Amino acid sequence: AQSVTQPDIHITVSEGASLELRCNYSYGATPYLFWYVQSPGQGLQLLLKYFSGDTLVQGIKGFEAEFKRSQSSFNLRKPSVHWSDAAEYFCAVGEYNAGNMLTFGGGTRLMVKP
C-alpha cells in the first residue's frame, strides 16, 4: 500500500527566509504527487502537482517542488517566505489503478516569525 510521510510536524521560519518542506512517499510505480495548503478552519487549496515530464514543478504563490525518484521525495520549496504563508501543508500521492484516489501525509504546520 502506498504511504506518504511528512517528517516535520511543525516548522518555524523567519519572514524572508527560504523554506523547504519534506515529503517522502512509498509507491510501487511512478506516482503522481500533489502539495496542498490549508488555512485554519478552511478547505485545501492546490499549490502544485507532478504528473509526468519535468521533475521541477512550479506552483502558485511562488512555490516549487522537485520530484526525485531515487529518493522517493517531493519536497516543497519557496525562496522567500511571507507572513501569509503560515498555514498547514499537505503532500499527497495518487494511485493510477484506482481512478483518482489520493493518500495524504500527516501535514506540516508552518509558522512565520516577523
Partner 1 sequence: DGGITQSPKYLFRKEGQNVTLSCEQNLNHDAMYWYRQDPGQGLRLIYYSQIVNDFQKGDIAEGYSVSREKKESFPLTVTSAQKNPTAFYLCASSIPRPGETQYFGPGTRLLVL
Residue 60 lies near partner 1 (rule: CB under 8 A):
no
CB of 95 to partner 1, least distance (A): 7
Grid coordinates given for 53? 515530464
For partner 1, the closer CB: 40 or 114: 40
Q: Please choose, from the candidates 24, 49, 19, the residue with its C-alpha nearest in 3D space to the C-alpha of residue 109.
A: 19
Residue 72 lies near partner 1 (rule: CB under 8 A):
no
> How many CB atoms are located within 10 Å of the residue 53 CB?
8
Polymer length of the chain: 114
| Dihedral class, residue 107 (left if φ above 0, else alpha if ψ from -120 to 50, else beta) | left
Residue 99 lies near partner 1 (rule: CB under 8 A):
yes
Binding mask 20-59 for partner 1 (x = CB under 8 A): ------------x-x-x----xxxxxx--x-xx-------
Residue 94 lies near partner 1 (rule: CB under 8 A):
yes
Residue 83 lies near partner 1 (rule: CB under 8 A):
no
28-44 burial string, b = 16+ CB within 10 Å, else e? Answer: eeebbbbbbbeeeeeeb
Binding site for partner 1 (CB under 8 A): 4, 6, 9, 32, 34, 36, 41-46, 49, 51-52, 90, 94-96, 99-102, 104-107
